[in-house]
Structure 1
């Protein structure tokens, strides 16, 4: 009786009044203490309202049911396939929708629906994987910015592969605290490529010069990302670099000349196929024969072997100093030893290697100059502050300093 009277009434009322009635009836079904018969009639009535020609009515139903775990499943599934502004309400919040429902809606729906799904308070790895495959940049930005999204490494790589050229998406990915180091490397590589294309397009650098600058900047970034990573993360990183064609002899030499032996060991482990322990033993063999055998096993260019051997020998000599200083930049002493070792090679083999080492030396010299300039600027700032303190107060401080320290 209730359902018949309600449906007859809604046929003669305005869309606004029908929407108010739909909202009230839906909330009564969800939250009022109805008996079984009244509850069944209310459910049937709100389900029938899915056929109402006015989107205001269906939107009212969506607003009432969006957060309700007790909402009729058939009603919510139907609303999830309605117009974008209606579907988005339940897609973004409804606990009734399963992963299968959401994947289906993402596949056949529009980008607005995918954005709503990407903003849900919890997202399973399966759902994140589906969005990674089909969503556009706007939805993927929302997904990357969602801290509760359980995005697997493979899905993150797929996002970078599909839309890594989008600057806002790269920024959202890099802001994730759980971003694996190899994915972070992939994102920064796409950023470097975008910057290279920009400066080349503007005519600021030749394509060849731009490619070199980009490669060297990417290598510095790679070693920075690797710093502090555990063995498993380093292994994943070097595997990615090898597959992407970025695990070059120049990068490994840069790592060695910077004292980044953990990265060097991981790279040689990947290239040689030996165990990590075996690689470490050969690399640090004080006689040098182990390094030669490892180098050949890794398949690195023969022309670079003297540079690697000399750099490793220099590292053994100053390894204690490097560890104590915590320096992570290029060592000019190691570079000098490598240059000296390569100068005995025929010019045809040595000129490109020596040029690379000279660029490393110039980079190290500039970094030393930057550090010195920062230190001098800091001292100057301290002196400027001290000059503002009255002389009498400073003299009193100097006299009281021993007592205060005690």
Structure 2
């Protein structure tokens, strides 16, 4: 039913086509149709009548029953002229995976709408907003007030975010013990002397020296500030995922049968010190013996781990946190048992967060959110107490909440 116009395939669309195309039998088929439709719409070769029908189909896809179709629409048109303000707001109100590309890239969304989204306490949506090309002072302040440590760090590292001075102080109040946060603040331009003096007590020696030099602080003053509060690791200890289970292989097969043996879960298991679950899970996903998994992951070097990930069909972006966790285990001589678990967890989470917070990959973002946010509040409180660290609580938040914003569904 198509004809050629300037090398672009266009369709003499009818109302019957609207019903047929938007009801394609599979999500994959509808995504292919939607992609071609957007191409024709953006090419500008459709007649006025065809354009109206094509736009109607596009809106049907944006309200599709399958989230994967709606997500594909969002990624396809997030920076397109086809994305009207109404459609942008519709997609932004959807589940996190659908909303993310629109909240990150769409310029049609105003501050008042973004503020309402931030107030919903969905960490994935807050993360998308924190990384926008530009973030106003009003929105930045709201994110710092309620966002978790991953979201706030992303905001502070965003050169396009206008973070006002009071918000920077709030970030220090809430997450001053987290190196990634204080170093992100230290790298921002035009810091006040009051803020610099607060940061001196938290940042690493290298960043401290830079602050002392660039802001002309006396070494004596810097030393006194350091004495008032040394840099502390505030990464959370994860509750072990598996307790007293002999047949971990059975657990791994059960998770795989229920489509829950994901790369994120396996990474989280490794960071929690649950090496048996990690090895068993990789064995199931890759279809190889557990001995082969141990050899490839621990003794096979970078090529061995890369081959294991490829065999297990896991996102390559997660290789970095896995490699970090294995390196920390080697350094500490930790073997996955109860002895030394807390030390291993604190160290590996700190390293993963420090090294991966700037990686702009959705899988890594999701892992960081899980490591920081998905432990129950009472577990977090006990972990912080065991580590001898203060629990960061934002203004007006009851301490029992742990100062954390838990993503929807977490």
Q: Which has the larger radius of gyration?
A: 1
The two structures have a TM-score, normalised by structure 2, of 0.45
Q: Quick check: which one's helix share is greater?
A: 1
The two structures have a TM-score, normalised by structure 1, of 0.46
Q: Quick one: higher RCO (CA 8 Å, sep 6+), 1 or 2?
A: 2
